[in-house]
Every structure is written in C-alpha cells, then in structure tokens.
Structure 1
C-alpha cells in the first residue's frame, strides 16, 4: 500500500492508490489503468475513466475510493469529502476512507472532525498504524490551538510558551522553507516546558470512584460422553502375534500446535456461520481493542456480523508458534460478505486458559 505525505502543516498521511482489499475478477485491469493515469500525472483522464466504470458498477468500493483520491488530487476537496463520507456509510468495515476523510478535514482546519474520523478508523482496525500516527498529529494541532487560547486569556502564565515552542519545534520540518531540526533543540524545548510546568502549581480534579467491573464467567465446556469399549474375544487358534510396535505419542508441543490451529479454524467458522455465542467465546472474556470496552466491542461485532446476508471466511498459509501457554498464529484471510471482498494478512495472539486456546490480541494488515 503506497503512502504519501500531504502538504498540510501537520503531515497527515493519506492512502492514495491501493485499497486494502483484493480486486474483483475481471476488474483488475480497470483499477490498474486508473492508477497508472494518476502516477503519470493525468488525473483528469483518470477521473473520466473512473466515472465510466462507476456508471455501470456504482457500488464498486475500490473504484469509488480511487475516485476520491483523484478528486483530492484535482483540488476538489468538497467532492472528495462527499465521496469518502459515502464510502464510510456504505462500507463501515473499511478504515482507509475514514483516514483520507480525516486528511481532507485537517487540510481545512477542521481538526475536531478529523479526530472523529480517525477514531472511527482506529475503532474499525485497532492495529491501523497510519491512523494512530495521524491522530497524534491532529491532537498536537488541537493542543497548539488550546495553548494559544490560554495565552490570550492569561499572558502571564510561564508554562504555556515553552509548550507551544516544543510543538512548533517538533513539526518545523513540515513547514515550507524550514531548516532541519536537531535533537538537541527538541530536547531543549522539552526541558524548558518541564521546568516551567514544575514552577507552576497544578490543580488536579478529584477522580471519580470507578465501579468494580463484574467478572465475566468463562464459557462452560460442553460435556463429553465416552462410549464403553466393546469386549475383546480371543480367537480359538491364532498364530503367535507379531511383536507389538511401540506406541508413538505426540509431543506436548505438537498437541498444543494442533490445539491452536483447531481454535483458529473454529473461530473463523463461527464467524462465517454468524454464530455469535461461539464467535465471542473464541476470545478471552476480557478482550477489548484499544479505546473500547469488552461490552462495546461485542455489541459492535454482533451488529456487523448478524447484519450480513452471507459471510465467507477462508484461511490459508497458517503458521503457528507456541511458547508455554502462549501462542501466535499467522495466516492470510479471505473475507467475503455481500458485495465486499477483503484479502489480508492477520496475526492472532492466543493464551491457553482452562484447556482452551483463546484470542487475546488480533492485528490485521497487508
């Protein structure tokens, strides 16, 4: 996936040419042709080709994404915002449209809207590094605005100017004509900010008393019924038995590897079957992506999975490593739901709990 730096004062990164799901059969040439026209700086021709394609396939997510990129390249900011906004409504599972929408908002100085869009991108994919970097830049810009307002209200506050200087120093390389910033200058600005903050008393609001989180019981294991072995009848006259071969028992690590593979495949099958009880039980009871509670995550996943008319999840290139009661599974995942077709790499971290391998962390990407 190709990334470029935008020309914004705080350099948010926009995804420009490839969306993180596979091209549909028969359309790869059209995507490649539009992408090539962009690369050779012919955005008007690229837009015309994209419009012709979308006239017959108006719901194609990848071409719609490319059209938004072309509109941004041509300076049609309002139209690009409309394109990416509609993509987030039709395909809320995709983080890339949220990211590019945030870049457009930031370019207009609408940093609160950019922050909300990036938070949605991260909620959709908590391992989305580009969105994490961009939201850090947006927070820095919001902080700069807040410090300037603080100076307007109280110009005698000695702690604010060093903080403003630190932010400006860090982002100076992104300003036109700025000289390179040395680590020493950043360290000096940080030290000045720390010294000024230490000289001013800090008033801390009382923290609310949090209610204890109720423990979530581990899903009950299904009862296993073992059939009685049939009686052995000795033959009347049998030849001398051949020497018995020693029983080959699988090693403990081999048993664990097989258990992890079975758990990963079972979780994918529960997803495809829209069996929410089995799907949620594949994760540790306290599982929660960054910025979400377990309950909010479970509710969101249920709404997205149950709402699909059909789901297909196929795993390939599965590799597993085990270290004691922890394991890592890496594989390629082909996901299809209604008109959406996503093919990406995935990494799961699992932990053995009560004889079962449960997911503690998941990371998606190309």
Structure 2
C-alpha cells in the first residue's frame, strides 16, 4: 500500500524540538541557531540554508546546525539531501535518537517502510524512553501489515479473514488525516515547524517526588502532650516521635549511599573505566532495544572507549528510597569530544548485598 506523506499519522513528524537536546553552545551560537530557525519558520528556506551553510563552513561538525540543515532540506522538498544529512549525523553522533527518527519520517514518505522501521529501532535503542519513536514504530508496523494483507489478497482473493483486517488498518489511517504544510508542498506535516521553539519547555521535569518525599508531619504529635493530663498523656506521645526517627535516619543514610553510587557511575563513565561503569549495572538490568547483555556491553564499550574525551556531570539530584529500591532523578551534562548534550535522567537502583546497582535507566524523565 502506498501512502502519501500528508496522510501519515500526526505523530510521524520531524522532531525539530529535539535540536534543543543537541545544544550545549553559548549565547553567541544560540543567536545563530535562532536566526536560522526564524528564517525556517518564516518560510525563507533558501536564506536559512545559506546561513546554515555559512555557519557549518567554520564548524562542520556542529550537530545542532547540521540537524537544522536536514530540516531545511526536508522543507525545501529535497528528501534525498535531507536523508544524506541525517544519515551522516547518525554516523558521527550515534548517541542522538532524533536524527534516526527523522530518517524514518523521510523513508516512510518514500514508502521505504523497512528502512523506516530499522531507523526507529535504532532511535529506541539509543533512548528507550523516546515516546515519539515508539509511536512512529507502531505506525510503520501498521503500514507493513497493510502491505502484507494487500499482498495476501492478491494471492488469495477468496480469503475472508484478510479483508476485515485490511479494512481496519485503512480506517485507522484515514481518521483525522493531517493537512499538508503550506510551505512543504504536502511533503512534511505542518507541526514539524510549529514545534521548533519548544526548547523553553525543557525545564518541565521538576520532579514532584521532592514534595512527596517531605512528609514532615511527624513533629505534630509533639504538640499533643500539652493539653493532655499529667504523666499519662506525656508518656503516650513520647514513643511516637521516637519511632519514625530510626527509619528516617536509615532512609537518609540509604539516600547518601545511592547518591554515592550514582556519582561513582558517572565518574567511571567520565574516566572511561569500563569495569567500574559496567559493574554499576546489576544482573537484573534490562538492556534497551532487546539487546542481549553482552551485545549491550560491547556496544557501550565501543562508544565510550572510542571517544578521546568524556565528561559526565550530575546536578540537581533527587533520590527517593523505598526499602531496598531507590530512584535517582538528576540533570546530566554530557560532553564527548565536540558533542554536548544536556538532559534529565532517571536511574532505578536495587540494593544487592552492600551495594546499590542500576536495574533501569531512562532519559527525559
């Protein structure tokens, strides 16, 4: 089944907002990014491309401007040029999921759904919590199913079970079809550009658990002894405040242990100490993208050791502990060679023996 680009579901759109994740530049660079983005949003695509090329002439490796160039090429009706731009980005910066997602959009627009599927699987392997890629992958699988059902009907027109399945998928993709962008000739859904200024939304992950973890009503019982009669009432509240004190102290101690474990993990990553880095993950850790533990470790080793310089800084850490389980949320500033990525990260840890080990990690949470 061939599907026009403007018929794609609304989620299968360019992740322009993701350019913010690849930032890490100073104010001067931000102004140049802003100038190019403004020209792009104004439909002045030729000027935007010229300005992007001028910038890249002196900074050819800059990932954000290269990403924006790919978006401009897509909006200009040059999908093959855009594919080449995003493909090279995935080779130079395999840590970034957004170029893979945009490759999938372009491949899907050319009805190359197998390539789109492979690109989206790479995006998810890079960032298992990338919701857009998961939804896009579902859309691509549906299109592949539609092609398979159509082929089945061609080979066996009397198969009564296939037709309802095919009709269901066609109905799914015919509901709320997306109007093409006035500036793209119907090639790219309009919200791709509308999402561009979204970097301002980045501070959103201000974890609510900070408030939830502060149940300080414990001192309240201390006020109760006042109205109570002599020693009887005084004796009753005395044990009450003492009881929560022990768990609170234990929880605080466990929280410090978790913080230390997370910082040790980041330091091992920064120093490319693979034994320390991989040893921070517990046996229960489930690698992303359906990889085996060995394949995941080999992939991480290749990506980390291959860098000439890595710096991983942790700030704004917030830890909550429940028994032998803990959740650490923090801001991660990652620098590797010329790549800089600022993101929110969540690690789930479990205490095994006398150490805390990572069993799950996600980005953007």
**Following the alignment from structure 1 to structure 2, what is the Cα–Cα distance between the partners of residues 121 and 54?**
25
> Which residue number corresponds to residue 277 of structure 1?
275
**More deviation in 165-174 or 80-89?**
165-174
Equivalent residues of 2:121, 2:289 under 8 A apart? no
1:142 aligns with 2:144: yes
Q: Which residue of 2 aligns with 1:162?
A: 164
Per-residue deviation at 1:21?
A: 2.3
**Distance in 2 between residues matched to 1:176 and 1:296, nearest whole Å:** 39
Unaligned runs of 5+ in 2: 180-244
Q: Which residue of 1 aligns with 2:255?
A: 257
| Equivalent residue, structure 1, for 2:293 | 294
Structure 1 moving runs of 4+ over 4 Å: none
Contact kept, 8 Å, 1:23 with 1:62, in 2: the verdict is no
1:162: Cα distance to partner?
A: 1.0
Partner SS for 2:175: helix
Aligned to 1:21: 22
TM-superposition CA deviations, 1:140-185 (whole Å, max 9, x none) = 00000000011111112111111111111222125479xxxxxxxx
Is it true that 1:319 corresponds to 2:318 in the alignment?
yes
Alpha-carbon contact 2:7-2:174 (below 8 Å) kept: no
Q: Is the 8 A contact 2:283 2:359 kept in 1?
A: no
Matched positions, count? 291
Distance 2:175 2:48 in 1: 32
Matching of residue 55 in structure 1 with residue 57 in structure 2 = yes
Change (3 A) 1:135 1:176: closer
Give the aligned CA root-mean-square deviation in angstroms: 1.7
Report how far residue 8 of structure 1 moved.
4.0
Deviation at 1:285, TM superposition (A): 1.9
2-structure distance, mates of 1:55, 1:289: 36
State the partner residue of 1:235. Answer: none
Instruction: Tell me: higher relative CO, structure 1 or 2? Use CA pairs within 8 A at least 6 residues apart.
Output: 2
Q: Is the 8 A contact 1:350 1:357 kept in 2?
A: yes
Matches of 1:83 and 1:21, distance apart in 2: 15
Alignment of 1:72-151 (within 5 A): 72-151=74-153
Q: Structure 1 length as normaliser, TM-score?
A: 0.76
Tell whether 2:334 aligns with 1:332: no
CA spacing shift, 1:59–1:290, aligned 2, 3 Å: closer
2:35 corresponds in structure 1 to 33
CA separation in 2, counterparts of 1:258 and 1:112? 47
Q: Which residue of 1 aligns with 2:340?
A: 341
For 2:289 and 2:46, locate their aligned partners in 1 and report how far apart those are by CA, in whole Å.
Answer: 40
Q: 1:213-224 residue pairs with structure 2 within 5 A? A: none
1:22·1:343 contact (CA, 8 Å) conserved in 2?
yes
Q: Does 1:45 align with 2:66?
A: no
What is the TM-score normalised by the length of structure 2?
A: 0.77
Distance 2:99 2:164 in 1: 36
In structure 1, the residue corresponding to 2:22 is in which secondary structure?
coil
Q: Which runs of 5+ in 1 are unaligned?
A: 1-5, 178-247
Within 1, Cα distance between the matches of 2:103 and 2:363? 21
The structure that has the greater radius of gyration is 1
The whole-number CA distance in structure 2 between the counterparts of 1:113 and 1:8 is: 19
In 2: Cα distance, 1:124 partner to 1:18 partner: 14
Residue deviations 1:322-359 (CA, integer Å, cap 9, x gap) = 11111110000000111111110001111111121111
Distance 1:16 1:272 in 2: 29
Q: Deviations over 1:76-111 (max 9, x none)?
A: 111111111111111111111111011000000100
1:180 corresponds in structure 2 to none
Q: Equivalents in 2 of 1:105, 1:174: separation in Å?
A: 22
